[in-house]
Amino acid sequence: DAEALRATIDESLDSMRPVGAPTTWVLSNHDVVRHRTRFGTLEKARAAALLMLALPGSAYVYQGEELGLPEVVDLPDEVRQDPSFFKANGQDGLRDGCRVPIPWSGDQAPYGFGTGGSWLPQPAEWAGLSVEAQTGDPESTLELYRSALRVRRAHPALGAGDGVEWLPAPAGVLAFRRGDFVCTVNTTDEPVRLPAPGTVLLASGDLADPDVLPADTTVWWQG
C-alpha cells in the first residue's frame, strides 16, 4: 500500500532526525514470517528490497532474504526447535519457518550447510535457490541484492542526508528523489505510465519501456 508505506517512511525519518540518529530499515527477521511469503510473491519482495535499500539510513538484511527464500510453512511438530512452541503461555511458537538454515550449494539437503545436517529440515525446492545456483544469474534475487549494494555504495546521493523529496506520482506509486538519485515504486497490480526521470540504474523486474513502470516493480534512476 503506497500511502501506508509513505506514512511509515516519513514517520520513521521524522522520529530519528531530532536526535541525529540514522533510521534503520528491515523487511524480515528471525521472529516474523519471511516477507516473500507475507507479501505473497517474489516480485513484491524484490520490489520492497530495492525500496528499502534506497532509503537513507541503515538497512538490515536477514539471512536468506537475499536468496528470495519463502517461509517454510509445513514443518511437522516433531522437528520444531522454537522454545515458544513448547510453552503453554499463549505464544504460537511458529518462528521456526523463517529460521531454517539457508542453502549454500548442491542439489539436496543440507545444501552445503555441513556434514552434520541442519537443525531444521530444508525443502527440496530450495536446490534452485542456493547461493551456488543463483550466483552469476543476472535474473536471480541474489544478484539483484549484490547489484543494489554495489550501487548503494558507489552512488553519493544514497549515502547522504536524512530525508527524501517526494515527487508527484499516480495513485499507488511512490516516487522520491535524493540528490540526483530517484526511486519509483509501483505497488499496484497494473503497469503505470510514468515518464522516465533519468537513466535506469537498476530495476527489480523487467523494464521493457522506461516510460512504463510495471506492476510490483521498483526502479532506481540517475537523473
**pLDDT tens string 118-156:** 999 999 999 999 999 999 999 999 999 999 999 999 987
Share of the chain above pLDDT 90, in %: 84
Q: Count helices and strands (H / E) in the chain.
A: 5, 9
Give the domains, in start order, of the chain with CATH numbers.
1-159 (3.20.20.80)
Q: What is the pLDDT of residue 70?
A: 97
Q: What is the pLDDT of residue 221?
A: 97
Q: Which of 107-121, 151-165, 184-198 has the highest mean pLDDT?
A: 184-198
What's the CA angle centered on 40, arms 38 and 43, to 5 degrees?
115
Give the Cα separation of 61 and 129 in Å (integer): 17
Indicate the pTM of the whole model: 0.94
Mean pLDDT confidence for 28-44 = 96
Q: Which of 20-29, 31-40, 75-84 has the lowest mean pLDDT?
A: 75-84
Q: What is the pLDDT of residue 89?
A: 59
Q: What is the pLDDT of residue 210?
A: 95
Q: What is the DSSP letter of 198?
A: S
Query: At residue 116, what is the residue type?
Result: G
Radius of gyration for the alpha carbons in the chain, expressed in angstroms and rounded: 19
Q: What is the pLDDT of residue 115?
A: 84
Q: What is the pLDDT of residue 116?
A: 84
What's the CA angle centered on 67, arms 149 and 42, to 5 degrees?
100
- Strand residue runs (E) in 49-166: 58-60, 165-166
Is the pLDDT confidence value at 10 over 90?
yes
Instruction: Identify the CA nearest to 183 among candidates 60, 59, 58, 56.
Output: 56
Is the pLDDT confidence value at 32 over 70?
yes
Give 92's pLDDT tier (boundaries 50, 70, 90).
Answer: low
Is the pLDDT confidence value at 88 over 70?
no
Mean pLDDT confidence for 72-98 = 81
Strand partners of residue 176: 166, 183
Give the Cα separation of 42 and 122 in Å (integer): 19
Give 86's pLDDT tier (boundaries 50, 70, 90).
Answer: confident
Q: In this structure, what is the dihedral angle of CA atoms 113, 116, 119, 125, given to the nearest 10 degrees?
A: 50
Q: Look up cell 532506481; give the residue.
A: 220
